[in-house]
Amino acid sequence: MHYFESGNMYKEVLPTPDGDGNVYIQYFDEALNRRSLTIKADGTRTYYVEYWGDTSTVKTESVVDATGGWVKDIHYYESGMTEWEVLADPDAEGNIYYH
């Protein structure tokens, strides 16, 4: 683990994927230890753009593939349930937006 000068956690590089498939986790410089970025073993990156107030509940996240191509954006309700999702490419049913 690596830390900011403030003593807050900066990043974790995991030798094996965690339960969510992440091999790299980066945090904001704050006492809440909220994630700013995760990277999966396949190179997929999730950027945690916004949180609900002073909580660890994600409000908005953006996912890109290993090449940097945008995959999707997801917005969550304060409860943590998905409010909407916008996909870069249509899914099997041809949808690019869920609400």
What is the mean pLDDT of the segment spanning 64-75? 98
All structural domains of the chain with their residue ranges: 2-98
User: Is the per-residue pLDDT at 1 higher than 90?
Assistant: no
* Strand spans (E) along 1-99: 2-3, 9-13, 22-27, 35-40, 45-51, 58-64, 70-76, 82-87, 97-98
Distance in angstroms (rounded) separating the CA atoms of residues 91 and 26: 29
pLDDT of residue 22: 97
* Three-state secondary structure call for residue 63: strand
Contact 25, 34 (CB under 8 A): no
What is the mean pLDDT of the segment spanning 57-82? 98
Please tell me the pTM assigned to this model. Answer: 0.91
Distance in angstroms (rounded) separating the CA atoms of residues 27 and 11: 6
Q: Tell me the pLDDT band of 65, cut-offs 50, 70 and 90.
A: very high
Distance in angstroms (rounded) separating the CA atoms of residues 29 and 32: 9
pLDDT per residue as tens digits for the range 11-25: 999 999 999 999 999
